[in-house]
With several copies, the nearest count.
Chain A
């Protein structure tokens, strides 16, 4: 028997890495080993992060800022230290450009709301236009629909070419115009895996003076991210997809913008001085962090960033590229399987959506689950993509630094079983 994994290069030492993730030892459905291929929905949490959270609550827990006692000072240092780590992780020019939110969705809504309440030249109103794309996650669609409804602005979008799962930018000059105030798009699609051409979109947006927000939720966990290289004005991502805890997200924004733009949520921590008649606001990032922040979660995200950095984002990207290449190749061998999205491993993320003949994704997912294989089925919060492809849903397998070629094999075998079961 020839080794089916021969020729796969750039793989990480997953045997060692998997030891860091207690959940990967779990058995489900009467002792079947868990094959976790739902990483685009949420990643698993390494021991290092879990321990950081416990230690935080066991030794340092206090409310941050302004406290003069030891715990408050230590908790503040840990919280602000996490900001330093995240700033470095995305190569932010300044730590004050890193805003902690509760998830990527809040980050995206935060920008939409700032622009709705902003003064000129940023203000989105009935004279202006908002641009998104047809492959956005609902979290990068609905906030803009709400903003458009509430301000009278016009919402426009780039269409999707179903042939290869890429954006149709042929009409970029008509879509992004002098009226455009903001262009918000996903760096790597969570449903298609498509990696979008940042430079072309950013260039056109800045040409007309529009701001650019990049949804990097599916990028930050998987590749080196450099907000300066992206040349965007805002970048959003979420902790729970990058080995961090739930309840923490990030918005990076350019300092001048954060200074100029109005606050979103009001409350403790985000103020400079308050009287009953009026208030002034703290400088960014605090201006955008109302109330007690997700302290432990930020600290946990800091630990996740340390963990990922210790392995190396370049290496993680190479590992995933090898796995994705292998997975695409093996999946295309499954009869009746149709990949929804790019069919190369170049310029794509590690989430792979597909349909399997007439078998409904719910059934595919359920029968895979019975074999211990966790995939996601549905519209993956990107229903417009399904509408465009004329399908109700897809099955999606998505990989991470601990995924192995053997798990790809298990998926392919599982799909054979699904076909026989419903055949």
Chain B
């Protein structure tokens, strides 16, 4: 399960650190204590930044790094499609062998296919993705209100 790609992202995470955003969430995996604080910044419907801080296992940390790679710069609709595909892969219990089409969508994230065989670790891989989904709902829900210079800070435990 520890593909080199995963270890690389773990050791050299992309986009780590908290930068200004439109919404912030804090997610915890209570069974193992993994934590992430994640902010999203939108420019219209385009993801301008996903920044994060957290602690946890290599899987949860690498997954956040991969997420940053994949989603920053994308339109929210496309990002949601990517998130959906990643979720499908992770819930496949090792039964999906990613094909070229999937690799096109998920890029480095296909390396997590092996993780889906380990039920105890799937939650780790999904932690940042669930946080991103939640932050996006908050950020885009808030665009109706006048845009504020300060990032909205919300916590979800």
Measured CB to CB, the residues of A under 8 A from B are 66-68, 72-73, 76-77, 271-273, 280, 360-363, 366-367, 377-379, 383, 386, 391-393, 421-422
Tell me the complex Cα distance, A377–B59, Å. Answer: 15
B2, B32, B55, B56: the one contacting A367 at CB < 8 Å is: B2
B11, B57, B119: the one contacting A362 at CB < 8 Å is: B57
Asked if A68 and B120 sit within 8 Å, CB to CB, the answer is yes
Digitize B119-130: 1 where CB-to-A-CB distance is under 8 Å, 0 elsewhere.
Answer: 111001000000
Q: List 12 A-B contacts (CB under 8 A).
A: A66-B31, A66-B120, A73-B119, A273-B28, A280-B30, A360-B34, A360-B55, A362-B124, A363-B58, A366-B1, A386-B33, A421-B2
Tell me the complex Cα distance, A377–B32, Å. Answer: 8
Number of interface residues of B (CB under 8 A): 23
Cβ of B124: which chain A residues have Cβ within 8 Å of it? 362
Tell me the complex Cα distance, A35–B1, Å. Answer: 20
B35 on the interface (CB 8 Å rule)? yes
Most B CB contacts (10 A, CB to CB) among A67, A272, A360, A393 go to A360
Asked if A73 and B31 sit within 8 Å, CB to CB, the answer is no
Cβ of B7: which chain A residues have Cβ within 8 Å of it? 421-422
List the 6 closest A-B pairs by CB distance, nearest first.
Answer: A392-B33, A360-B57, A362-B57, A273-B30, A272-B30, A363-B58
Asked if A360 and B1 sit within 8 Å, CB to CB, the answer is no
Cβ of A67: which chain B residues have Cβ within 8 Å of it? 120
Asked if A366 and B118 sit within 8 Å, CB to CB, the answer is yes
Using CB atoms, name the residue of chain B closest to A422. Answer: B58
Using CB atoms, name the residue of chain A closest to B59. Answer: A362
Asked if A362 and B2 sit within 8 Å, CB to CB, the answer is no
Asked if A76 and B119 sit within 8 Å, CB to CB, the answer is yes
Cβ of A393: which chain B residues have Cβ within 8 Å of it? 32-33
Tell me the complex Cα distance, A351–B31, Å. Answer: 20
Interface residues in B88-147 by Cβ distance below 8 A to A read: 118-121, 124
Interface residues in B34-66 by Cβ distance below 8 A to A read: 34-35, 55-59
Using CB atoms, name the residue of chain B closest to A76. Answer: B119
Cβ of B33: which chain A residues have Cβ within 8 Å of it? 378-379, 383, 386, 391-393
B56, B58, B121: the one contacting A392 at CB < 8 Å is: B56
Min CB distance A122 to B, Å, is 26
Asked if B30 and A73 sit within 8 Å, CB to CB, the answer is no
Digitize B7-42: 1 where CB-to-A-CB distance is under 8 Å, 0 elsewhere.
Answer: 100110000000000000000101111110000000
18 A-B pairs besides A361-B32, A366-B1 with CB distance below 8 A are: A66-B31, A68-B120, A73-B119, A360-B34, A360-B56, A360-B57, A362-B57, A362-B59, A366-B2, A379-B32, A379-B33, A391-B33, A392-B33, A392-B34, A393-B32, A393-B33, A422-B11, A422-B58
Using CB atoms, name the residue of chain B closest to A378. Answer: B32
Min CB distance B70 to A, Å, is 23
Tell me the complex Cα distance, A106–B10, Å. Answer: 42
Asked if B118 and A68 sit within 8 Å, CB to CB, the answer is yes
Cβ of B35: which chain A residues have Cβ within 8 Å of it? 392
Tell me the complex Cα distance, A363–B120, Å. Answer: 12
Tell me the complex Cα distance, A378–B29, Å. Answer: 11
Most A CB contacts (10 A, CB to CB) among B1, B7, B30, B57 go to B57
| Contact flag A68-B31 (CB < 8 Å), given A366-B1, A367-B2 | no
Cβ of B2: which chain A residues have Cβ within 8 Å of it? 366-367, 421
Tell me the complex Cα distance, A367–B57, Å. Answer: 12
Cβ of A383: which chain B residues have Cβ within 8 Å of it? 33
Min CB distance A285 to B, Å, is 16
Min CB distance A28 to B, Å, is 14
Using CB atoms, name the residue of chain A closest to B93. Answer: A77
Cβ of A362: which chain B residues have Cβ within 8 Å of it? 32, 34, 56-59, 120-121, 124
Min CB distance B91 to A, Å, is 14
Min CB distance A201 to B, Å, is 30
